[in-house]
Amino acid sequence: MAEAGSFADRVKQQADIVRVIGEYVRLKKSGQNFTGLCPFHGEKTPSFAVHPVKQIFHCFGCGKGGDVFSFVMDMEKCPFPEAVKVVAEKCGIPVPRPKERTPEERKENQQRAALIEIHREAQAFFVRQLESTAEGRAARAYLEDRGLNAETIARFGIGYAPSGGDALLRQLKPKYAEKLLVESGVISRDQSGARLFDRFRRRITFPIANESGKIVAFGCRALGDDLPKYLNSPETPIYSKSNLLYHMDRAKEPIRRQDFAILVEGYMDAIAVARAGIGNVVASCGTSLAEPQIKLLGRFTKRVIVNYDPDVAGQAATERSLTLLLEHDFEVRVLALPAIGDKKADPDLFIREKGAEAYIKLLKEAPPYVDYLIARARQMDLSTGEGKQRALNFLMPYVQRIPNALLRSEWASRIAQQLRIDEPVLRAALNKSATERRSEVKVAPQLVGKPAKQIERRLIRMLAEAEGFKRELAQRLQHGRLYEGLETEKVFAALIVAGLSDEPIPATEIGAQLEERERRVFFEILFEDAQEPTWEEAESCLDALRRRQLEQELAKVQKTIEANPSGAGLRELLERKQELMKQLAAAG
Ligand SMILES: [Zn+2]
């Protein structure tokens, strides 16, 4: 949220939301608003609206809405500070250079810069070792055997960490503090804490770069039979495994251009695929994909072909990644490479044996994830009812994640056919679990709460906009607790707090405090065509709420009386009932 007086706040005040959104969506003036086709969901008739005065947008179809920054964040898939910059640039507002605010920040930045410098030096060292030492020659022979020629070795910065144990340490020690060297992860400290040594020894080194191409870690493969076969950098201030995708620095442009990415498991796979001329490949460098990695990928495309190893671990990783990708609205296909002889093929082996063309052909034919899953389910024993149930239990969680109801239904038919399951039975199971998980599902239009009643809508509009009397109105609502129990109670609560505050609070900030469902109701009300409110109308709405409150209490008293007609306190209850009826009559 834009903090008052901050740069973001200034940009927000100066930016024209219609102009900014107009660069992405063709907008047409319609009454007070501008409307157009929503860029966030496919549609043929416009349900996307921009309000020039309130500086908000809202889609009546998919429910997306917010201010100019949230629009840009969603369109550009970028974080808030980036969105502020984008908007500022579009509106010709000069962007100040980022300043380190505190001494801690400065220290952190210096540390990060030093860690990156250590990695740069280590990288140069490893490359030199591979090129010009006897040990390095053996490593090169191994790489050539794996089909990696000098050009590829240079292109991917592959190097070699020698066996000595302190060769890199001797190189770095004169320049950097011990603590920093250990923090970088390329140097380790033994258990006694007394001795430092090279973390990577007798290993082929693969530099791992962050999104902007700076080397922040190494992935290393043992040259001989040393264990572990793969040893990577530990988590450090500049490297977190779950935040990074191998090869992303070079793949982002091809991914954006082709609007899809190929996801493989390890760096050898990514290198093999990239060498084959397919640049839009990234590796998760771990057995399964983490959420930050998916978000990173999602900034460049929403379409991915998963090509993990065909072994059991790879299958499990594929299925775990599928779940996450589907939750983030990715369109997912799965490429399961056929075995070569009796060997299961990962992308590296497959391309080496069958060539790039064959790989590209399979890539093009990669089936949607549901086909892949059905094929997996069909490998289960389907001869018994229990077996079928197991297969169904395996499939169901994925099918439920298909956001589109029509598509979901189509898949249900296919699954029924392929697994020979009675279709109505399957549909019933699907519907049942659909209701059970409703609470965790993203808000789809059909799940949105009932539209608020007219009185609530009018009062909400007045609380948001009636400058003349919104404070008075907020006081009356709060004092009589008239909004409690309403469907829109939370919207009221937020607006009353805003109405009673001395500072004007813009609608977007109130919206940001609300849950998604309430935010939608609130924005829809703000976009309604409505006449100027009057205090008279406000009073009649308040009266209606007051009546509603009395009626509800009366019903409660009546119920208590009926539940226990001779009980204690009956007289008080009857008196209260009389009183309530009198008040109701007076309220008309
Ligand atoms: Zn929409």
524 CA distance to ligand 1 middle (Å): 13
Q: Is the pLDDT of residue 444 over 50?
A: no
46 CA distance to ligand 1 middle (Å): 9
Question: Which pLDDT does position 588 carry in this prediction?
Answer: 65
77 CA distance to ligand 1 middle (Å): 16
Question: Which pLDDT does position 452 carry in this prediction?
Answer: 62
Confidence of residue 562 (pLDDT cuts 50, 70, 90): confident
Q: Is the pLDDT of residue 445 over 60?
A: no
Q: Is the pLDDT of residue 467 over 80?
A: yes
390 CA distance to ligand 1 middle (Å): 37
519 CA distance to ligand 1 middle (Å): 15
Q: Are 182 and 170 in contact (CB under 8 A)?
A: no
43 CA distance to ligand 1 middle (Å): 8
Report long-range pairs for 464-471 (Cβ below 8 Å, ≥24 apart). 464/495, 464/507, 464/510, 464/522, 464/525, 464/526, 465/533, 466/533, 466/538, 468/535, 469/535, 469/538, 470/499, 471/499, 471/500
Question: Which pLDDT does position 362 carry in this prediction?
Answer: 94
1 CA distance to ligand 1 middle (Å): 22
Nearest to 527 by CA among 72, 61, 56, 69: 56
Q: Is the pLDDT of residue 4 over 60?
A: no
Nearest to 27 by CA among 13, 3, 47, 7: 47
Q: Is the pLDDT of residue 572 over 90?
A: no
Q: What is the pLDDT of residues 203-220, one digit of tens each?
A: 999 999 998 789 999 999
38 CA distance to ligand 1 middle (Å): 5
Mean pLDDT of 246-275: 90
Q: Are 492 and 486 in contact (CB under 8 A)?
A: yes
Which of the pair, 342 or 444, is modelled with greater confidence? 342
42 CA distance to ligand 1 middle (Å): 7
Which of the pair, 357 or 24, is modelled with greater confidence? 357
370 CA distance to ligand 1 middle (Å): 26
Nearest to 485 by CA among 445, 514, 456, 446: 456
How many CB atoms neighbour CB 500 within 10 A?
12
Question: Which pLDDT does position 125 carry in this prediction?
Answer: 97
pTM score, whole prediction:
0.59
Confidence of residue 528 (pLDDT cuts 50, 70, 90): confident
58 CA distance to ligand 1 middle (Å): 8
Residue 225 dihedral angles phi and psi, to the nearest 5°: -100, 15
How many CB atoms neighbour CB 136 within 10 A?
20
Of 185-194, 417-426, 486-495, 503-512, the one with minimum mean pLDDT is 417-426
60 CA distance to ligand 1 middle (Å): 7
Which of the pair, 137 or 584, is modelled with greater confidence? 137
Question: Which pLDDT does position 99 carry in this prediction?
Answer: 67
The rounded distance, in Å, linking the Cα atoms of 260 and 303 is: 5
* Chain mean pLDDT for the chain: 86
**Two tokens at 228?**
């572990």
Q: Is the pLDDT of residue 447 over 90?
A: no
**Eight-state DSSP code of residue 242:** G
Residue 35 dihedral angles phi and psi, to the nearest 5°: -130, 160
**Percent of the chain with pLDDT strictly greater than 90:** 36
71 CA distance to ligand 1 middle (Å): 12
Side chain identity at residue 574, one-letter code: L
48 CA distance to ligand 1 middle (Å): 6
Question: Which pLDDT does position 403 carry in this prediction?
Answer: 64
Confidence of residue 100 (pLDDT cuts 50, 70, 90): low
- The DSSP bridge partners found for residue 207 are 218
Confidence of residue 433 (pLDDT cuts 50, 70, 90): low
360 CA distance to ligand 1 middle (Å): 35
Mean pLDDT of 525-551: 87
Mean pLDDT of 529-550: 87
- Coil, strand, or helix at residue 262? strand
491 CA distance to ligand 1 middle (Å): 22
21 CA distance to ligand 1 middle (Å): 14
445 CA distance to ligand 1 middle (Å): 10
Q: Are 390 and 380 in contact (CB under 8 A)?
A: yes
**Two tokens at 432?**
């049942």
Where is mean pLDDT largest: 97-111, 166-180, 387-401, 526-540?
A: 166-180
Question: Which pLDDT does position 227 carry in this prediction?
Answer: 82
181 CA distance to ligand 1 middle (Å): 50
126 CA distance to ligand 1 middle (Å): 51
Question: Which pLDDT does position 301 carry in this prediction?
Answer: 83
Residues 6 or more apart in contact with residue 236 via CB below 8 angstroms = 115, 183, 184, 185, 216, 217
Confidence of residue 440 (pLDDT cuts 50, 70, 90): very low
- Sign, CA dihedral 463-466-471-476, equals negative
30 CA distance to ligand 1 middle (Å): 17
CA of 43: how far to CAs of 18, 47, 62, 175, 218, in Å? 20, 8, 10, 60, 46
Nearest to 127 by CA among 114, 112, 116, 140: 140
Cis, bond preceding 397 (omega within 30 deg of 0): no
Place of tokens 């495309």: 301
86 CA distance to ligand 1 middle (Å): 22
Nearest to 292 by CA among 333, 331, 341, 243: 243
Q: What protein residues have CB closer than 5 angstroms to ion ligand 1?
A: 38, 40-41, 59, 61-62
55 CA distance to ligand 1 middle (Å): 17
Q: Are 374 and 395 in contact (CB under 8 A)?
A: yes
Q: Is the pLDDT of residue 449 over 70?
A: no
35 CA distance to ligand 1 middle (Å): 11
Mean pLDDT of 565-571: 79
Question: Which pLDDT does position 5 carry in this prediction?
Answer: 65
The rounded distance, in Å, linking the Cα atoms of 513 and 1 is: 10
Mean pLDDT of 383-398: 81
Mean pLDDT of 173-181: 94
588 CA distance to ligand 1 middle (Å): 43
- Conformational region of residue 440, where left means phi above 0, alpha means psi within -120 to 50, and beta covers everything else: alpha
Question: Which pLDDT does position 273 carry in this prediction?
Answer: 95
Where is mean pLDDT largest: 121-125, 362-366, 567-571?
A: 121-125
Q: Is the pLDDT of residue 569 over 70?
A: yes
Confidence of residue 328 (pLDDT cuts 50, 70, 90): confident
322 CA distance to ligand 1 middle (Å): 25
**Percent of the chain with pLDDT strictly greater than 70:** 93
Give 358: exposed, middle or buried? Use CB within 10 Å, 0-12, 13-18, 19+. Answer: middle
252 CA distance to ligand 1 middle (Å): 26
Mean pLDDT of 458-485: 90
Question: Which pLDDT does position 233 carry in this prediction?
Answer: 94
- The DSSP bridge partners found for residue 332 are 304
Mean pLDDT of 412-439: 70
CA of 14: how far to CAs of 6, 8, 52, 465, 511, in Å? 13, 10, 12, 21, 20
263 CA distance to ligand 1 middle (Å): 29
> Is beta strand 65-66 parallel, antiparallel or unpaired with respect to 159-161?
unpaired
397 CA distance to ligand 1 middle (Å): 26
Mean pLDDT of 105-110: 86
- The DSSP bridge partners found for residue 305 are 262, 333
Confidence of residue 564 (pLDDT cuts 50, 70, 90): confident
456 CA distance to ligand 1 middle (Å): 25
Residue 528 dihedral angles phi and psi, to the nearest 5°: -65, 145
